[in-house]
Structure 1
Amino acid sequence: MFRPLIVTLLLAASPAFAQCIGTGGFSTCTDNNGNSYTINRFGGSTYMNGYNANTGSSWSQDSHTMGNTTITNGTSAHGGNWSSTETQIGNTRIINGTDSRGRPFSATCNQFGCN
């Protein structure tokens, strides 16, 4: 059975609104700019693949949660690979990774924000 989902995507220039159709396990979405993406969920894993209608580029991301840790890997629209590891300890999230240009990043976040 399919159920419609409405997702708001925040873009750098302006917000785009996506219409998603699917189930909890698989959804396909298209926004008002013609971009599209699919979301596939299985257990603690989520797989996303997207397509930018204006540039013809595509991107992908997969996330895997094990206990209190989520590992996310992706390929950006320009072809760069990125990854992050997020660990939740109480009210604190510890995030470490490498962006799609190879630069490391890290943050520690709690109810007061991130540093």
Structure 2
Amino acid sequence: MKRTLAIVALSLAAQSAVAGCFGTGSFKSCTDDSGNTYNVQKFGNTTHLDGYSADGSHWSQNSNTIGNTTYHDGYSADGDSWNGTTTKIGDTLYNSGTDSDGNYYQSTCTSYGCY
């Protein structure tokens, strides 16, 4: 019986490794097929993400949702900051902000795509 449980536990661990993530709803650590690692922490309406590329670079993102608007900010792998907002009205997402090169962006996304 103990041997059977050990085999089941190893099988579940192998399945988790294939999925690439482990942890709980409030903290997860994931690895993709390219060797990049992502740590995700959730606290209420706030999510913090740290990404580590296989080449050793690091990037991050913070998201905070208030009502139907999510505020994003973070740092790119080269250390430049960026920020933006996403507002959902019905099935439409309105995105705007400044990318890590300092360029303003704006888009609208529906079920038919983004423009």
Report the TM-score, using the length of structure 1 for normalisation.
0.80
Instruction: For 1:64-103, list aligned pairs within 5 A.
Output: 64-103=64-103
Distance 1:95 1:32 in 2: 29
Distance 1:83 1:18, change over 3 A: farther
1:23 match: 24
| Structure with larger Rg | 2
Query: Normalising by the residue count of structure 2, what TM-score does the alignment of the two structures yield?
Result: 0.80
Give RMSD over aligned pairs: 2.1
If each structure's strand is expressed as a fraction of its own residues, which one has the higher value?
1
Q: Distance in 2 between matches of 1:66 and 1:105?
A: 21
| Structure 1: tracts of 5 or more residues without a match | 7-16
Aligned position for 2:105: 105
Alpha-carbon deviations, 1:35-87, whole Å to 9, x = none? Answer: 21200011111100111122x21000010001100001010001111111010
> The residue matched to 1:106 in structure 2 has which SS?
strand
The 10-residue stretch of structure 1 (98-107 or 88-97) with the greater mean CA deviation from structure 2? 88-97
Query: Structure 2 stretches of 5 or more lacking a match?
Result: 1-11
Q: Which has the higher helix share?
A: 2
- Aligned residue-pair number: 102
The one-letter code of the counterpart of 1:25 is: S
Residues 1:58 and 1:75: Cα distance change in structure 2 (over 3 Å)? same
1:21/1:91 Cα in 2 relative to 1: closer, same or farther (>3 Å)?
same
Query: How far off its partner does 1:33 sit?
Result: 2.7
- 2:20 partner SS: strand
